[in-house]
Amino acid sequence: MTRPRILEVEGISKRFGGVQAVSTLSFHMEEGEILGLLGPNGAGKTTAFNMIAGAIRTDTGAIRFRGENIAGRRPWDICRMGIARTFQLSKPFGGLSVVENVMVGAFVRTASGHEARAEAEKVVDFLGLGPRAATDAEDLTAFDRRKLELGRALATRPRLLLMDEVVAGATPTEAQEMVALVRRVRDLGITILIVEHVMKVIMGLSDRVIVLDYGKLIADGPPREVVNQPDVLKAYFGERYAQAHT
128 with 203, same domain: the answer is no
pLDDT (tens digit, 9 = 90+) per residue, 164-184? 888 888 898 998 999 999 999
DSSP 169: T
Alpha helices in 82-112 (DSSP H): 98-106
178 with 69, same domain: the answer is yes
78 with 94, same domain: the answer is no
Residue at a domain's end among 117, 138, 157: 157
DSSP 179: H
Amino acid at 78: I
Give the pLDDT score at 241.
47
Q: What is the share, in percent, of the chain residues with pLDDT greater than 90?
A: 77
Does the pTM of the predicted model rise above 0.85? yes
126 with 146, same domain: the answer is yes
CB 194 within 8 A of CB 163: yes
Q: Is the pLDDT of residue 44 over 50?
A: yes
73 with 163, same domain: the answer is yes
29 with 54, same domain: the answer is yes
CB 143 within 8 A of CB 132: no
Give the pLDDT score at 167.
83
48 with 165, same domain: the answer is yes
> What are the C-alpha distances in Å from 231 to residues 60, 151, 202, 220, 236?
25, 37, 18, 11, 9
Give the pLDDT score at 246.
53
Q: Is the pLDDT of residue 214 over 50?
A: yes
Residue at a domain's end among 157, 177, 206: 157
128 with 54, same domain: the answer is no
230 with 190, same domain: the answer is yes
Give the pLDDT score at 240.
52
Residue 64 neighbours by CB under 8 Å, 6+ apart: 7, 8, 9, 10, 70
Q: Which residues pair with 160 in a beta bridge?
A: 83, 191
**Domain containing 124: what range?**
90-157
pLDDT (tens digit, 9 = 90+) per residue, 114-163? 999 999 999 999 999 999 999 999 999 999 999 999 999 999 999 999 99
pLDDT (tens digit, 9 = 90+) per residue, 86-121? 988 888 998 999 999 999 999 999 999 999 999 999
What is the number of structural domains in the chain?
2
207 with 221, same domain: the answer is yes
